[in-house]
Chains A and B, each alone.
Chain A
Amino acid sequence: MERITRRELLKKGTMVGAGVAVGSSIGRKASAAEKGEKTPLPKIVERSRDSNLERMEKELQRALQKPLNERHWVYVIDVKKCVGCAACIAACQTENRTPPGVVYRPVIHEELGKYPNVTRRHIPRLCNHCDNPPCTPVCPVDATYKRADGIVVMDYNRCIGCRYCLSACPYNSRLFDFGEFYAKGKGFFPIMPYENVHTYEYKVNWKRHKGKSPVGNVRKCHFCLHRIERGLLPACLVTCLGGVNYFGDSNDSKSLVSKLISQPNVIRLREEVGTDPQVYYLL
């Protein structure tokens, strides 16, 4: 049976009621993918060693042939493979040129057991891209929303920076750009050239300036939207040395991620709040 979510029900109810919802989706520019335009995809490199990466790339390109609303991206993390090297954090920060303190991908380090029987566990975190996100309905200006392919995105030019969504996220996966720079303000350093590099989030060229978006905005992980729509896997995934991460389309029953999330050893974080997260952890 098809499950009707609360939000869908709300939406349907409103349509019937009267055109109250006018203006919430009108006026926002649809991205190229949302309009159904296709971008040329890169050639896949034949790899002998890591066949998973190659397979996920093929599946990603296969998924991109489908219309946007028939894809559903999920992310799977195999916790026991993670060594806690933090390469994914660095990759994410370089890819998205995030300022100090804005970290889309923290890694939780946990010590278990009692000496001498101790071990460590590392739990990488990123936005869960919940199927029932509590952060999007609270936005007073509708600047954050869930796309048809499951990615929860920000509209930087609309966000007023009230940070209600930060409060409403049960995972603290959202971050605020306070407008700081790594070097500036520490001694006599100016803004370093590497901090002035464009970031390509949401396939738009952003340059951080005082008072200009994305400074003063809420920022979050977007599964490297600008990469996946060009046929590339998320930065955190490709940089991982242990092959901890998996990414793909769960609507494709033959995909690697579909296989993984149907296993019995899968958990998701804080499921009890009913968010239906789309980041799965393999134990």
Chain B
Amino acid sequence: MKSRIINWFLLLTGLGGVIGIGAIVYRLVEGMKVTWLTSNFPWGMWISYYIYFIGLSAGSFLFSTLIYVFGRKELEKAGRLALFSAFFALVAGLIFIWMDLGHPWRFFYVITHWNYTSVLAWEILFYIGYIVVVLVELWYLMRADLALMRDESSAGKRAFYGALALGWKTPATQEARDASRQRALRVVAILGAIGIPLAICVHGGTGAIFGVVKARPYWYSAIFPIIFITSALVSGAGLMTFLYALVGDKKGSEYLNIIRSLASWLILFLGIDFLLIGADFLVNWYGYVPDHMAVWEQIMFGPYWYVFWLVQMGLAMVVPFLIYLFKKNSATWLGIGGLSAVIGIVAVRFNFVIPAFAVSPVPLLDKAFHDARFAFSYFPSLTEWVSSLGLISLVTFIFVLIYRLLPIVNVPKEYSV
């Protein structure tokens, strides 16, 4: 890709990142009053983005296991990319939930005062285990390349690659190199196999944080942890399609085939996702239990109807399907379809968290006391918007920087696994 465009992109996201850091600092200094959350609407934009990024991470990771555990060799070139997005998305998700805390500096209490009956407390453990698995996998995949880059580059970069290679030495003979590469792939396959249940716990469990809440009839359903996993796969496949269309080797003969293969996975997961959401809707609609349907009515015809119809149904459903049907021979179009799904899944998360609070669980409690912080309605404040978008740009900025520095897609010839 043209480096001028990348430079402009870096400038833009870097600027966004700086503004985002400013907004986060402002929030940390001023406290939670900078949000427009209320006591009856305790979770909003940040929590939606938190589950979105955890999902994106789990989806990307599960995608990488297709390659390293299930041996889908045709996708191999997207493998490290998938693991890297898994790492960065998880970090973004954790920052989102961290800045949503009323006492952000007490975050370590979740370890020191760990409560075994809380799904959220279990999730924190899963996130930590999962991040370790991702990092160890990445190191095993890249150690040979990192060592090579260390040995070939000049002083400044040498220290950087040397630190990342953790002292790994390139074996002298070609045979030894092949053997060590095989060993690395074995380790990655085993870690990937451990990572599959872990990633399912990471995102299915994030769904269970909501699924176990019997206070909210809309959430209290066994189908939501499953929908969390399938929509994670949708966003993971979408992200891979988009990123590979963007950075993959366009001259390679396999380029279009890889993207088509990625896009087919995307369409499969989209279909399953649609089926599950449709099932939940139809069951609730048939029964029409007021508590349950009130939330669905909010989603479809409430103040934010367009988020459901235009973004969730449009961008994350119809657009990728249509592109797959009519533009199957264009890598660019398939990539756009992937991006569309990635953006659209944001709406799935928003539509999961936010409407559940819009309905009073006790009749007429919404008219009991008049105060902005007791309201049953919510719209993100300026600080919430700026900090969210800023944080996303910051993570993208670091991702692109790292992408340029590390052997993620453009691997040195000799060692490419």
Contacts and interface: CB of A to CB of B under 8 A. Distances in A.
Contact of B42 (A21, A110, A143, A167): A167
Interface stretch (B4-12, B224-232, B356-364): B356-364
Contacts of A178: 31-33, 35, 37, 373
Nearest to A174: B39
Interface string A133-158: 01001111111000000000000001
A245 B150 CA distance: 76
A158 B32 CA distance: 17
A171 B362 contact: yes
A269 B30 CA distance: 37
Interface stretch (B13-21, B108-116, B405-413): B108-116
Contact of B118 (A27, A139, A174, A215): A139
B292 to A, nearest CB: 13
Nearest to A164: B120
Interface of A: 10, 14, 20-21, 23-24, 27, 89, 100-103, 106-110, 123, 125, 134, 137-143, 158-164, 166-172, 174-180, 210-211, 213, 215-218, 269-270, 273-274
Looking at chain B's contact residues, the main secondary structure is loop
B106 interface: yes
Given A101-B371, A163-B43, A176-B42, A273 B115 contact: no
6 contacts: A10-B117, A110-B363, A162-B100, A163-B100, A178-B35, A216-B31
A21 B357 CA distance: 32
B322 interface: no
Nearest to A274: B214
Contacts of A217: 102-103
A127 to B, nearest CB: 12
Contact of B368 (A24, A108, A142, A174): A108
B117 A172 contact: no
A24 B112 CA distance: 10
B382 interface: no
A160 B109 contact: yes
B201 to A, nearest CB: 16
B221 to A, nearest CB: 14
Contact of B364 (A109, A134, A167): A109
Contact of B120 (A138, A161, A210): A138
Given A160-B101, A211-B31, A106 B374 contact: yes
A195 to B, nearest CB: 14
Interface centre among A107, A141, A142, A169 (most CB of B within 10 A): A141
A89 B369 contact: yes
Contacts of B32: 161, 176, 178-179, 216
Top 3 A-B pairs, shortest CB-CB distance: A161-B102, A101-B373, A216-B102
Contact of A163 (B31, B42, B124, B365): B42
A162 B362 contact: no
B138 interface: no
B38 interface: yes
B40 interface: yes
Contacts of A174: 39
A218 B121 CA distance: 17
Contacts of A103: 369, 371, 374
B372 A101 contact: yes
B215 A170 contact: yes
B306 to A, nearest CB: 25
B212 interface: yes
Nearest to A136: B117
Contact of A166 (B39, B106, B124, B371): B39
Contacts of A143: 109, 113
Contacts of A123: 364
B113 A141 contact: yes
Given A101-B372, A102-B373, A210-B31, A160 B213 contact: no
Contacts of A161: 32, 101-103, 106
B364 A142 contact: no
Interface centre among A100, A178, A215 (most CB of B within 10 A): A178
A91 B215 CA distance: 29
A107 B368 contact: yes
A210 B31 CA distance: 7
A172 B31 contact: no
A163 B42 CA distance: 6
A265 B264 CA distance: 62
B120 A216 contact: no
B285 interface: no
A205 to B, nearest CB: 19
Interface in B21-79: 30-33, 35, 37-40, 42-43
B328 interface: no
B116 A172 contact: no
B368 A167 contact: no
B216 to A, nearest CB: 7
B119 interface: yes
Given A24-B116, A161-B32, A172 B39 contact: yes
Given A160-B102, A163-B43, A171 B364 contact: no
Contacts of B363: 108, 110
